[in-house]
């Protein structure tokens, strides 16, 4: 009976560890912009031109 409990506890721990790894991967992927989240990227339009000569 003790062996059955031990193996089921090991399975639960393995599932929790896998779930935690998936959550961390999803968080870093979101921060990287893979899902459109994370840092907001703002486009700055800089119009640089030479001054008109007289």
pLDDT tier at 1, thresholds 50, 70, 90: very low
Looking at residue 31, its pLDDT comes to 80
> pTM of the prediction?
0.52
Residue 25 has pLDDT above 90, yes or no: yes
Could you tell me if 35 and 29 are in contact, meaning their C-beta atoms sit under 8 angstroms apart? yes
Sketch the domain layout of the chain as residue ranges.
1-35
Closest CA to 41 of 28, 49, 32: 32
Q: Which residue has the higher pLDDT, 43 or 20?
A: 20
Q: What is the DSSP string of 18-54?
A: HHHHHHHHHHHHHHTTTTS-SSPP--------PPPP-
């Amino acid at each position: 009976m003790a062996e059955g409990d031990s193996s089921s506890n090991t399975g639960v721990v393995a599932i929790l560890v896998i779930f935690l790894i998936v959550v961390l991967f999803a968080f870093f992927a979101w921060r990287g912009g893979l899902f459109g989240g994370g840092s907001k990227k703002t486009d700055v339009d800089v119009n640089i031109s030479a001054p008109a000569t007289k």
